[in-house]
Amino acid sequence: MAVGLEQEVKNEAFVAGFDEAASRALAGESAVPALRELREVRFAEYRAVPLPTRRMEEWRRTDPARFPFERMKRLPTIPRGACAPHAWDDLFDVIVSVEDGAFDIRDRSGVLEGGQVLVAPLEQALREHADRVKPFLEKRARAEAPDKFEALGDAFWNAGFFIHVAPGVELERGVLLRYRQSGAGGILIPRVIVAVGERSRAVLVESMESPDGVELMSVVSREFHVAEGAKLQSTTLRAWGDRTVHLAGDWARLSRDARLEWITLNFGGRLTKVRFGSDGAEPGANAELDGLYFASGEQHVDQKTLQVHSSPDTYSRLLYKGVAKDKAHSVYQGQIVARPGAIRVDAYQRNNNLVLNDGARADSMPGLQIDADDLKCSHGSTVGNLDEDELFYLRCRGIDEASARKALIRGFFEDVAGRIPHECVREVVHSQVDAKIG
Amino acid sequence: MSEKSAEQVLADSEYKYGFVTDVEADTIPMGLNEDIIRMLSEKKGEPEWMLEWRLKAYRRWLKMKEPRWANLDFPPIDFQALRYYSAPKKRAEAEIDPELQKTFERLGIPLHERNRLEGVAVDAVFDSVSVATTHKEMLKEKGVIFCSFSEAIREHPDLVKKYMGTVVPYTDNFYAALNAAVFSDGSFCYIPKGVRCPIELSTYFRINAMETGQFERTLIVAEDDSYVSYLEGCTAPLRDRNQLHAAVVELIAMDNAQIKYATVQNWYAGDKEGKGGIYNFVTKRGHCRGRHSKISWTQVEAGSAITWKYPGCVLEGDHSVGEFYSVALTNNKMQADTGTKMIHIGNHTRSTIVSKGISAGESNNTYRSLLQILPDAKHCRNHTQCDSMLIGPLCKANTFPNIEAENGSAVLEHEATTSRISEEQLFYLKCRGIKEEDAVSLVVNGFCKEVLKQLPLEFAVEAIKLLEMKLDKSVG
């Protein structure tokens, strides 16, 4: 469907450094034929997708040419190696660390032993558990065709993981996925496929970080499959350093009566463009989507969310709240999509923005795309500065202006921050917010 | 042309305005080139500067690409297969047709009530030319200029030269450039300083000839401390072929001036299969140049096979106010991509947007808007409410707002809902013995109330009737 500016398709179909030779080189790094085949298929898909241009509605505010692919180097497949322990390790069942060119999987509570839960690099999963991973490679969680960068992530990932929870299993403390990169100039491309079996319950926390001052890039593509009656609770914390460039494309597919609670926290990075969709693919699916973002300095954060309802009787609720400060530019693009026949859908989308000073900019593009009747879809969006009356109220009570502002901004974030299930993540959010308020 | 024409915005679901008036027409050959433009300009007896402007616009248009970004689906338009000028030879005959009387009766408006519309001055545009303008003398006494655009070019060239194209330049977009090159007529209003225009001004547009495009241009200038309320209505005959209507409307409000602009658009929308109908591709923009100026758009879009327009306000003067109230109803296979643009440049500028979309049948109704707060615009305020109602399982409703805030002091609120016409409300009304169709129209009226109350009373009554008739048979 033609939404937005005329689409101009460029002929050169490759992102710099991600061409056929690179694909072959990457495939050659593995001895698993199934993986080589998979890469070939995904490369063909990637090749067919046109490069985004600013003429496309979604990219109008974030020039795709700003992504410094030509200055960066694709990293080879990340091998298994030792990773330093982390304070959060004790809080989870399984910890997957990707740290400076090595990954490590640690099982803290023995959940992997019974085989009910599988957490493995994609290559190993393809070799040893083909029956479990194959269905989720064939059936995509995406409700829409991937864009160029999502397709790039599918084809060129160098850190791929498969997480599978068998039906009826409760993975109480869940899986922690940590990405930490400190070397300059590399492109880390994680690909994560999560499949939560029927009536299972899983928790997933992802944390992404890099030191300030180091220029590097990451391109993430993820697909979540939540089976009938299952529940997935996912938290994504992006706390990249101030020169990291980040691209991500995430999709979650919800089967009958499945529930997804997904909290996205975008704080770090110089340039961030993330795209994320949930698909209520079967009746009864229920998606709760929350997000926080705080763009300061010269940060540019562009987020697109899609609440797709391809089936009747599905529900979604989204709340994204963000602050723009200094010379930062935040973009929120949201779309509720009700496909033909998706009746009795209930969908809500809200985006609240604080613009703390002149020179900072917040763009908000909530959207509804409704091809069915008998449903209820709505969105709300606000942009404004801190409430003068609230500031005055606090100052009347002897609170100095800086503290009052801080309290109000923290308060603004609190309705989402309060929903973060993990204390440790909440603490990072609070410290990031405090540091950014300055 | 008499006062009754303001009532002609009415039609019913069978489109009573689909008749053809049999008048001898003065036309020029089909197609578009510089010679056609020269011929058109000569027919209208235009001065050299006007022709030059048209040609400049035409040359610019040739370099432009037809935009395709809207959420609309229509076959390519052959701009050479259109006639760019058609005028009735005997002007007095225009519009006086017994069928109109029947229509009024069917709508339950006794003809003696036309007297109510005494307070409306009408400029009637039939195909390419203005056939009559009423109440001119009375307005003249007040210093108000209200005449056809052609007359304005002849009689008030300085004013036209000063303001034309300053809000919508011919470089603005593809259809604005086309309009600048070939526009044939339209209305011109000039309200001098300190004058409150005593009556409503109105233009009634009628497309009659076949294969004719209508390209009218309206320019309203309100000087300091003045006020004007302006209404436009449109109808066209039933035809199998699509016809193009590409108008440009420019409003200019100086210090403390206020312009209210209301449209009840009821172009022929095509039949149930989507055959025929008008393509309504219009550029409308108001420029609040003065401090405390105010421009208010009200539109009831009930016709046209395709409606594609975004009446907007450029809020330049400090404390200026822009308003947009819209009801867009689509039925059968109609398509609408409409909304507004509010560009806040001055400090303390405020805007209000209320949009009600109703989609029935297999229609596609899209709301699209741009709300922009420029970096130096302090303390701007916007409130947007945008609701869609769905009637029937095959219709589509989309909402694509764009909100860009580049100043920290702005306070912007946007809310949108899409839902089916409430079963509960219908049930409640039906329980009380109200017929289903009446119940639907009651609910729809309530849904649109905020917008309809912005219309002058007579127009509001007629707009409600129009909505009712358009929805007739779309429920059940």
Same domain, A342 and A416: no
Cα-trace Rg, chain A: 21
Among A368, A369, A388, most B C-beta atoms within 10 A, so best to mutate, is: A368
Q: Assess contact for A35 and A43: CB atoms under 8 A.
A: no
What residues of chain B lie within 8 A of the CB of A366, using their CB? 399, 401, 414, 416
Our CA-based measurement puts residue B149 at a distance from the nearest CA of chain A, in whole angstroms, of 34
Number of domains comprising chain A = 3
Interface touch B413/A343, C-beta < 8 Å: no
Whether B153 is covered by a domain: the verdict is yes
Whether residue B115 is predicted with pLDDT greater than 80 in this model: the reply is no
Contact check, Cβ <8 Å, A383/B403: yes
How many H-runs (helices) and E-runs (strands) does chain A carry? 8, 22
Q: Spell out the residues 6+ positions from residue A223 whose beta carbon is closer than 8 angstroms to its own.
A: A136, A140, A141, A142, A192, A193, A194, A250, A251, A252, A253
Contact B388 A370 (CB under 8 A): yes
Q: Which of A201, A199, A191 is nearest to A111 (CA)?
A: A201
Tell me the β-bridge partners of B65. none
Q: Which domain holds residue B325?
A: 3-471
Q: Is A260 part of any domain?
A: no
Residues of B in contact with A316 (CB under 8 A): none
**Residue the block writes with tokens 């300059």:** A184
**8 Å CB contact between B126 and B88:** yes
**Separation in Å, CA of A141 to nearest CA in chain B:** 24
Dihedral over alpha carbons A412, A414, A420, A425 (to 10 degrees): 90
Establish if A262 belongs to a structural domain. no
CA separation, residue B204 to residues A123, B103, B236, B371 (Å): 72, 17, 11, 31
Whether residues A2 and B68 touch (CB distance < 8 A) is answered with: yes
The total number of residues written for chain A in this structure: 438
Q: Is A9 at the interface with chain B, CB within 8 A?
A: no
Q: Is residue B476 part of a domain?
A: no
Looking only at the bridges linking them, the beta strands covering A368-370 and B396-405 are antiparallel
Q: How far apart are CA A280 and CA A253, in angstroms?
A: 6
Has residue B394 been placed in a domain? yes
pLDDT confidence of residue B180: 93
The answer to whether B418 touches A370, Cβ cutoff 8 Å, is yes
Here the tokens at position A251 are 């999709």
CB contact under 8 A, B414 and A368: no
Say if A174 falls within a structural domain: yes
**Most B CBs within 10 Å: which of A296, A327, A350, A373, as the mutation test of the B interface?**
A373
The whole-number pLDDT of residue B206 equals 66
**Sequence-ordered list of residues with C-beta below 8 angstroms from that of B270, at least 6 positions apart, any chain:** B242, B276, B277, B305, B332, B333, B334
Question: Parallel, antiparallel, or unpaired: how do β-strands A117-121 and A102-107 relate?
Answer: unpaired
- Residue B365: CB partners within 8 Å, gap ≥ 6? B328, B330, B335, B336, B357, B358, B359, B388, B395, B396, B397, B398
Cα(A421)–Cα(A93) distance, rounded to whole angstroms? 15
In this structure, is residue B288 part of a structural domain? yes
Total structural domains within chain B: 1
In B57-181 the beta strands, taken as DSSP E runs, fall at 86-88, 120-126, 129-133, 145-148
Distance from CA of A361 to the nearest CA of B (A): 4
pLDDT in tens, B17-49: 666 655 566 777 888 889 999 988 888 888 999
Q: Are A312 and A339 in contact (CB under 8 A)?
A: no
In Å, how far is B379's CA from the nearest CA of chain A? 10
Alpha carbon separation from B81 to B31, B53, B210 (Å, rounded)? 6, 23, 11
Whether A5 and B69 have beta carbons less than 8 Å apart is answered as yes
Kindly tell me if the per-residue pLDDT of B1 is higher than 50. no
B233 in Cβ contact with B266 (< 8 Å): yes
Same domain (yes/no): A378, A403: no
Chain B contact for A8 (CB, 8 A cutoff): no
Whether B254 maps to a domain, the answer reads: yes
List, for residues B293-348, the tens digit of each pLDDT value.
Answer: 999 999 999 888 899 999 999 999 999 999 999 999 998 889 999 999 999 999 99
Indicate if A97 and A241 belong to the same structural domain.
Answer: yes
Extended beta strands in B75-216, E state: 86-88, 120-126, 129-133, 145-148, 187-191, 200-206
What chain B residue is nearest to A351 in terms of C-alpha separation?
B414
Contact B397 A370 (CB under 8 A): yes
Shared domain for A278 and A291, answered yes or no, is no
Residue of B nearest to A365 (CA): B402
Asked whether residue A196 is assigned to any structural domain, the reply reads yes
Provide the 10 A C-beta neighbour count for residue B272. 12
Q: Verify that A242 and A357 share a domain, yes or no.
A: no
- Please answer whether residues A273 and A245 qualify as being in contact, where contact means their C-beta atoms are separated by less than 8 angstroms: no
Nearest alpha carbon to residue A281 among A139, A173, A129 = A139
Which pLDDT score, from 0 to 100, does residue B299 have? 92
Would an 8 Å CB–CB cutoff place A101 in contact with chain B? no
A259 in a domain, yes or no?
Answer: no
Q: Best residue in A7, A335, A370, A376 to probe B by mutation, most B CBs within 10 Å? A: A370
Nearest one of B305, B167, B307, B327 to B248, comparing CA atoms: B167
**Under an 8 A CB cutoff, do B397 and A372 touch?**
no
Q: Is the pLDDT of residue B107 over 70?
A: no
According to the model, what pLDDT value does residue A253 have?
97
Strands (E), A357-429: 361-365, 368-370, 376-384
Q: Is A32 at the interface with chain B, CB within 8 A?
A: no
Q: Are residues A366 and A429 in the same domain?
A: no
* Minimum distance, in Å, between the CA of residue A373 and any CA atom of chain B: 5
Instruction: Let me know whether A106 and A88 are in one domain.
Output: yes
Residue type, B239: R
Contact at CB, A363 and B71, closer than 8 angstroms: no
Distance CA B85, CA B43 (A): 9
Report how far residue B130's alpha carbon sits from residue B125's, in angstroms, rounded to the nearest whole number. Answer: 4
A187 touches A77 (CB < 8 A): no
Rounded CA separation A250/A236 (Å): 11
Tens-place pLDDT, residues B237-294: 666 777 888 999 999 999 999 999 998 888 888 888 878 888 899 999 999 999 999 9
In a domain, A307, yes or no: yes
**By CA distance, what is A373's nearest residue in B?**
B393
Residues of chain A with pLDDT under 70: 1-12
Our CA dihedral for A67, A68, A70, A76, rounded to 10 degrees, sits at -90
- As separate numbers, helices (DSSP H) first and strands (DSSP E) second, chain B gives 10, 23
Residue B169 pLDDT:
93
Range of the domain at A61: 1-140+148-253+267-282
User: What are residue A314's phi and psi, to 5 degrees?
Assistant: -115, 160
Residues A172 and A226 in one domain: yes
pLDDT at B128: 58
Q: Are residues A310 and A425 located together in one domain of the fold?
A: no
Contact yes or no for B418 and A376 at CB 8 A = yes
Cα distance between residue B12 and residue A42, in whole Å: 56
Residue B257's closest CA among B231, B288, B218?
Answer: B288
Task: Specify which residues B404 forms β-bridges with.
Answer: A363, B372
8 A C-beta contact, residue B158 and residue B48: no
Contact B188, B151 (CB under 8 A): yes
**Window A:314-333, CB contacts with B under 8 Å:** none
> Which of B396, B405, B409 is facing A361, going by the closest CB pair?
B405
Q: Which of B331, B418, B421 to substitute to test the interface with A, most A CBs within 10 Å? A: B418
> Which has the closest alpha carbon to B11: B273, B202, B278, B234?
B234
Cβ contact A381–B397 (<8 Å): no
Q: Using an 8 Å CB-CB cutoff, list chain B residues near A362.
A: 405
CB under 8 Å to B304, separation ≥6 — which residues?
Answer: B245, B265, B267, B268, B269, B277, B278, B279, B280, B334, B336
Q: Name the pLDDT band for B210 (thresholds 50, 70, 90).
A: low
Scanning A129-228, the segments in alpha helix (DSSP H) are 130-138, 148-156
Rounded to 10 degrees, the C-alpha dihedral B386/B392/B394/B397 comes to 0
pLDDT at residue A339 in the model: 93
ipTM of the complex: 0.79
Is residue A15 located within the same domain as residue A162?
A: yes
**A with B: how many residue pairs have Cβ under 8 Å apart?**
133
- Count CB-CB contacts under 10 A for residue B249: 26
Overall pTM > 0.95: no
Q: Which segments within A375-436 are labelled E, that is strand?
A: 376-384
Contact B408 A357 (CB under 8 A): yes
Per-residue DSSP letter, A50: P
CA distance linking residue B397 with residue B366, whole number of Å: 6
Q: What is the mean pLDDT of chain B?
A: 82
Which among B376, B409, B416 has the least Cβ separation from residue A379? B416
Tell me if B226 sits within 8 A of B97, measured CB to CB.
no
Tell me what pLDDT residue B474 has: 60
Percent of chain B predicted with pLDDT > 90: 45
Q: Give the pLDDT confidence score for residue B332 in this predicted structure.
A: 87
Of A355, A378, A384, the CB nearest to B416: A378
CA–CA separation, B238 and B358 (whole Å): 23
**Stretch (H or E) spanning A338:** strand A329-338
Res. B119 pLDDT band, cuts 50 70 90: low
Gap between the Cα atoms of A313 and A333, Å rounded: 24
Structure tokens that stand for B468 in this block: 């009712």
Q: Are residues A130 and A241 in the same domain?
A: yes
DSSP states along B418-429: EEEPPHHHHHHH
Distance CA B281, CA B333 (A): 17
Q: Is A3 inside a domain boundary?
A: yes
H-run or E-run covering A102? strand A102-107
Cα separations in angstroms, B51 against A81, B42, B191: 78, 9, 26
pLDDT tens string B39-97: 888 888 889 999 999 999 999 999 999 888 888 888 888 888 888 887 766 444 444 44
CB contacts of B400 in chain A (<8 Å) are 3-4, 365, 367
Residues of B with CB under 8 A from a CB of A: 65, 67-71, 373, 375-376, 378, 388, 390-393, 395-420
What's the rounded Cα separation, in Å, for the pair B196 and B97? 34
8 Å CB contact between B144 and B223: no
Q: Distance between CA atoms of A68 and A244, rounded to whole angstroms?
A: 10
Tell me the residue type at B125. Answer: V
Task: Check CB contact under 8 Å for B393 and A356.
Answer: no
Using 50, 70 and 90 to split pLDDT, how confident is the model at B124? low
Contact B343, B317 (CB under 8 A): no
